[in-house]
Amino acid sequence: MFVSDIRKEFYDVLLNQRVLLLVAFDVDALCTCKILQSLFHCDHIQYTLVPVAGWQDLETSFLEHKEQFKYHVLINCGANLDLLEALQPDEDAVFFICDSHRPVDVINVYNDTQIKLLIKQDDDLGIPAYDDIFRDDEEDEDSEDTGNESEGSEPTGKRRRMDEGTMERRIDRRRQRREWEERRREILFEYEQYEYHGTSSGMVIFELAWIMSKDSNDMLWWAIVGLTDQWVHDKITHMKYVTDVGIVQRHVSRHNHRNEDEENTLSIDCMRISFDFDLRLALYHHWSLYESMCNSNYTYANLKLWSIQGLKRLQEFLAEMGLPLNQVRQKFNSMDISLKDNLQEMLEESASKFGMKDIRVQTFNVHFGFKNKFLASDIVYSVASLLENIERDDGNKSFIEALDSLSRSNLDKLHQGLELAKQQLRAIHQTVASCICTNLIISHGPFLYCYLQEGTPDVKIYSKPICLKLLCKHLLKCFVRSTKNKRCKVLPLVMAAPMDLQKGTVIVIGIPPETESSDKKNFFGKAFEKAAESTSSRTLHDQFDSSIIELKSEDRSKFLDALISLLS
C-alpha cells in the first residue's frame, strides 16, 4: 500500500528498531542511501547496509538476514515485482519500498499489511481499481439451491425444473467470470506493458528530511545528483526533469541564501550549491573542451563526429566561436580566463547555427571550499564509473567506493571516478563510430539490432548494465542522424554484448525509438519475457530494469526470431 504520511508511517516506525537496508546498484539509489544514512545517524537508528545488483542478490541477501530483522528498506528495487511471492517472508516482516521503477506491481499496491510504498502519488501511476483485478472467490456452486432439499420431499419433475434453473444460473455465472477474467487480462496488460521511471528516490527521501526539519545542504546535493542521474541516463522526459528541477531549486535558494559580505568570508571547508544553465558537455571542467566535445553524446551526435566530415564541422564550429585550437586542447582550468568567462555565450550563439539550439540545460553545481567546483552531471558520471569499475572483481567493493565518493571528505575517490568516466566515454564513442562505420546496426523488421562480437575493443565494460545502456542510447541517437532511411529513424534498438564467456551468455538490452516526443516508456521487458517463453530460450531476468536480460549465446537467433514475430 502507499504510505500517505511518510514521517508517521515510515520513519517513526523505525525509531528504536534495527533495519535492513537493501540498495540497488544505481547512482540515485546510492544518493538516497546517503540521505537515509544521515537521518539514521541523527536518530541512532541501527541498520545493516547490503548492496543488491539484481533479483537473485535481493533474494539471497533477504534469506541471509531475515531472522535478524523485522523491518526492511528497499531502495530502487522491489516495486515492480510481487515481492511477497518472490521472497516468501514471515508474516511479521515489513517492507518499505522507495523505488523509481514503474509500473508498481498491483499486488504490492493492494497489500496493506507487509508492503509500504514510499512513492510519490502525484506521479501519474494509473493503478487499476481493486474491483477490476481482484474478486472474492465464489461460494461453492454446488451448495446453491441444494441445501434445503431432503430426499423424496419434492416431486421429481419439480426438482428437475429447479436443477435446470440452477444450471442456467451457473452457466451465466461462469460466463460472467470468463468475461471478467478477460477484461482483467486486458486491464493488466494495458497497465504493465510499458516500463518507465517516476520521481527519483533521492527526492522522495530528501522531502522526508525536509518535513522533519533535518535536511542539510549535503542531503540536498545528494537529492540533486539522484535527479541528475535520471536525466544523464535518459530515464525521464525533459518535462519531468524541468518540473523536478523547479522543486529542488526552491530548496537550493533556502539553503544557499547568503549576502555578498558572507560570500567573501567563506571558510575553506564550506559547501555552496547554485542553480545554473550550463553546457551539455560531459566533464568539461575536468577535461579539455575539445575532448569533452568529442565525447559528449550531444555534440558527438549533432556534429556526426564519427565521420571525417563531422570532425571538419567541429573545426568550423570552433573557428566560428573564435576559439584557438591550442586553447581548446589544453585542460579547461588552464584556458585563457577571458575565453572561459564568455564561453557559454560564445558556444550558445554559434551552436544554433550548427543545429544545436539547446546546448545549455538547467542544472546545479556545487563548490566545496574555494577551488573544487563540480556540476551535478560530473558527479553522476564519476559515481556510475566507480560502481561499474571492471578492474574491481568484487561488486560490493565497487559499491562501497562509489558510495564513499559521494562524501565531500573523499574528493580523491571522486577524482578517480572522473578519470574512469573519461575512459568509459572515450570507449563508448569509439564503439559508436565503429558500429556506424562498419554497418553493424541492421534493420530486423520491427527493430534495429546490433551485436558486439567478443574481441571488440573495450567489450568487457558493456557487460555492465549502466554502461551498456549509455552505449545503446548514444548509438541509437547517432544512427538516427547517420541514416537516410526514414523508417529506420523511428525504430527501437536491441543490442547484445558478451556477458560471461565461461557460462556462454550474452547481455541483451532493448530501448524505445529516438523521437522528440519520446515518453521514455519501454515495452521490451514484456516482449523479452514472451519471446523467451515461446522459444524456451534460456534467459535470466535478473535486473531490476526488465528491459535488460542475460541470454545463452546459442539461443540468441531463435530468441530474436521470436521477438521479430512478436513485434511485427
Mean model confidence pLDDT for the chain: 88
Q: Which amino acid, residue 405?
A: S
Tens digit of each residue's pLDDT (9 = 90 or more) over 183-240: 999 999 998 899 999 999 999 999 999 999 999 999 999 999 999 999 999 999 999 9
Rounded Cα distance, 27 and 382, in Å: 10
Residue scoring higher pLDDT (148 or 457): 457
Residue owning grid cell 575517490? 413
End-to-end CA distance of the chain: 37
Q: What is the pLDDT of residues 398-437, one digit of tens each?
A: 999 999 999 988 899 999 999 999 999 999 999 999 999 9
Rounded-to-integer distance, Cα 489 and Cα 487, Å: 5
Q: What are phi and psi of 163, to 5 degrees?
A: -60, -40
Contact 128, 110 (CB under 8 A): no
User: What pLDDT does 339 receive?
Assistant: 85
Cα 228 to Cα 417: distance, rounded to the nearest angstrom? 17
- Whether 66 and 114 have beta carbons less than 8 Å apart is answered as no
pLDDT, tens only, 482-516: 988 888 888 999 999 999 888 999 999 999 998 76
Residue partners of 214: CB distance under 8 A and separation at least 6: 39, 42
HSE-up of residue 529 (Cα within 13 Å, Cβ side)? 14
Cis omega (within 30 of 0) for bond into 103 = yes
Three cell numbers at 25? 546498484
Please provide the DSSP assignment of 487-519 as one string: TGGG--EEEEEEEETTTTEEEEEEE----TT--
Q: CB–CB of 523/512 below 8 Å?
A: yes
Considering only CA atoms, which of 206, 347, 202, 241 is closest in space to residue 284? Answer: 347
Locate cell 517513526: which residue? 12
Region 68-96 average pLDDT: 92
Residue 352 to residues 129, 313, 317, 323, 357, Cα–Cα distance (Å): 48, 13, 10, 17, 4
Note the pLDDT of residue 313: 92
Mean per-residue pLDDT, 550-560: 92
Dist. CA 450–CA 138, nearest whole Å:
51
Starting at the edge strand found earlier in the chain, the sheet holding 548-552 runs: 442-443, 448-451, 493-500, 505-511, 548-552, 539-540
Locate all alpha helices (DSSP H) within 233-336, ordered by sequence.
Answer: 238-255, 260-263, 289-295, 297-302, 308-321, 325-328
In this prediction, residue 292 carries a pLDDT of: 94
Over range 12-21, report the average pLDDT: 92
Contact criterion met (CB below 8 Å) for 364 and 273: yes
Would you call 245 exposed, middle or buried from its count of C-beta atoms within 10 A (0-12, 13-18, 19+)?
Answer: buried
CB 486 within 8 A of CB 532: no
Between the alpha carbon of residue 178 and those of residues 12, 130, 188, 331, the distances in Å are 45, 18, 15, 69
Average pLDDT over residues 122-135: 82
pLDDT value of position 137: 60
Phi and psi dihedrals of 322, rounded to 5?
75, 30
Give per-residue pLDDT as tens, 344-400: 888 888 888 888 888 999 999 998 877 788 999 999 999 999 999 988 878 889 999
The per-residue pLDDT for 152 is: 47
User: In this model, does residue 121 exceed pLDDT 90?
Assistant: no
Query: Which residue from 490, 450, 487 is spatially nearest to 471, judged by alpha carbons?
Result: 450
127 CB-contact burial (10 Å; exposed 0-12 / middle 13-18 / buried 19+): middle
The reported pLDDT for the residue numbered 517 is 66
pLDDT digit string, tens, across residues 304-333: 999 999 999 999 999 888 888 888 899 988
Convert the pLDDT of each residue in 162-187 to its tens digit: 577 788 888 888 888 898 889 999 99
**287, 422 Cβ separation under 8 angstroms:** yes
For residue 69, what is its C-alpha cell? 530483522
User: Please, what sign has the CA dihedral across residues 306, 311, 312, 318?
Assistant: positive
pLDDT digits (tens, 9 = 90+) for 132-164: 888 876 544 444 444 444 444 444 454 555 577
**Which residue from 57, 93, 97, 96 is spatially nearest to 76, judged by alpha carbons?**
97
pTM for this entry: 0.91
pLDDT of residue 322: 86
Whether the CB-CB separation of 102 and 198 falls below 8 Å is answered with yes
C-alpha cell at 167: 444450471
Under 8 Å between Cβ of 547 and 525: yes
Instruction: Count CB neighbours of 353 within 10 A.
Output: 11
